[in-house]
Amino acid sequence: MLKGIDPIISPELLFLIAQMGHGDELVLADANFPAVTMGRRVVRADGHGVPAVLEGLLKLFPLDTFVDAPAAVMERVDKPAEPAPVWKEFQRLLDGAEGRHITLDRVKRFDFYERAKNAFAVVATGEKALYGNLIIKKGVIG
């Protein structure tokens, strides 16, 4: 056990994010996401939702400030113009952690899969919310 680290961040996840560099992307995947198919590296966070894992990560993980949108969600296939309900919670957590508005890029389903394949890693969560997937891009600790 370490002081100051949210217990939701497993030793494996902590080791993984410590290896990431500026610009690397991390996918926080819902329970329906094909994590093992898409991820070069996969860390399990079963039993936890994406918002809880995101909240723990954002205490340790700076978002990229060199891009317009350091976070991305998978655009809904059924209603592309409408946000998924869980995105509101993502937005609240991202904005709160960074102290600024974070643009959430909406990425079409198969383009999201391609980004996931190229991401540093995928965190497979137990998130049950539909379209509860999020990609975050690591920034620089100043």
Residue 64: active-site member = yes
Write down the catalytic residue from 48, 64, 95, 111. 64
Residue 48: active-site member = no
Residues 6+ positions from 41 with CB-CB distance below 8 Å: 16, 120, 121, 122
Write down the catalytic residue from 6, 24, 105, 113. 113
Task: Output b/e per residue, 96-135; b: 16+ Cβ within 10 A.
Answer: ebbeeebebbbbeeeebbebbeebbbbbbbbbebebbbbb
Cα 19 from Cα 113, distance rounded (Å):
22
Write down the catalytic residue from 22, 24, 78, 131. 22
Cα 93 from Cα 39, distance rounded (Å):
24
Here the tokens at position 70 are 């350091």
Q: How far is CA 36 from the centre of its chain?
A: 16
Residues marked active site are found at 22, 64, 113
